[in-house]
Amino acid sequence: MKSAVVLASQFYALTKPRVVQLIVFCALIGMVLAVPGAPGRDDVWLALVACVGIWLVAGAAAAFNCLVEKGIDAKMKRTAWRPTAKGELSDLQALLFAAVLCSAGSWILYRWVNPLTMWLTFATFVGYAVIYTVILKPLTPQNIVIGGASGAMPPVLGWAAMRGDVSPEALILFLIIFLWTPPHFWALALYRVEDYRKSGLPMLPVTHGNEFTRLQVFLYTLVLFAACLLPFAYGMSSWLYLVAALVLSFGFCWYGFRLWRNYSDALARKTFRFSLIHLSALFAALLVDHYLMA
């Protein structure tokens, strides 16, 4: 018999905590930007409840992903440690866990936030857990581009939680994450290409080769650069954000260019890590700008 602590840690691992933390952070940015000026007590309470609901549904999607891809995960060094891949949790346990998290999160969002946020969050769950994981990922090398729409939804969810609608500002945040996802993920796929080849997944470096993928990473960083300027152009932010966006986006483009012209696994790792810094710092700059320049 497993101890309760061990079992709890295995279930917790299914939720992909680091990924979910970034999702909730991006949703929180959407919530903050949706509220003019300093938030009141009711705003803080609503944001807290919405974060809990979004965390639960996102964790459910991650758990379902682990269940569906347990065979693939077992073949890849990066994911072989997952409890479903190692057979430490049964299919039924993982499925029930995902169902409970999704149901609880959806109920919280519907009851304590608003129906729009619940339905958008549930649609994101379906988009990631079913459309991306089950259909797109094994079917096309463009899986991460199309499936990236689900990963780009958190700020839209946060905005909807506070405003009860989806405005152009929320869609701009969506576009930034949507365009950020391919260069972020393909940088990882480049230095993990053998893992993906063994898994049988048609990831871009496997189907189109290293050089083509590197060019795509660089081109996406250029398009992303333009998208990162939209919050300033639309009037969502001030010069403080613009300076941060220019520095961060230039840095990402520079990594993309170097990766394209002079590839190494070490540089691909650095590019992947910088992409995480890029998105986190960019949204943090939006947050700081929102309060300092209000």
The reported pLDDT for the residue numbered 5 is 80
Other CB atoms within 10 A of residue 146 CB: 16
Nearest to 111 by CA among 46, 58, 65: 46
The reported pLDDT for the residue numbered 294 is 58
The reported pLDDT for the residue numbered 255 is 97
- The rounded distance, in Å, linking the Cα atoms of 236 and 3 is 50
The reported pLDDT for the residue numbered 172 is 96
| Degrees, nearest 5: CA angle 193-197-203 | 70
Domains belonging to the chain, first-starting first, are 1-166 (1.10.357.140), 167-294 (1.20.120)
Q: What is the pLDDT of residues 55-113, one digit of tens each?
A: 999 999 999 988 888 887 777 777 777 888 888 888 899 999 999 999 999 999 999 99
Q: What is the pLDDT of residues 18-57, one digit of tens each?
A: 889 888 988 999 999 999 877 888 999 999 999 999 999 9
Higher pLDDT, 146 or 83: 83
Q: Structure tokens of 202?
A: 């048609």
Show Cβ contacts of residue 22 under 8 Å, excluding neighbours closer than 6 positions: 276, 279, 280
**pLDDT tier for residue 1 given thresholds of 50, 70 and 90:** low
pTM recorded for the entire structure: 0.89
The reported pLDDT for the residue numbered 85 is 84
| Degrees, nearest 5: CA angle 132-136-142 | 110
Average pLDDT, the chain: 90
**pLDDT tier for residue 2 given thresholds of 50, 70 and 90:** low
**Alpha helices (H) along the chain:** 4-14, 17-34, 41-68, 70-75, 91-108, 115-126, 143-151, 154-163, 168-191, 193-199, 204-208, 210-228, 230-234, 239-261, 265-292
Greatest alpha-carbon span in the chain:
59
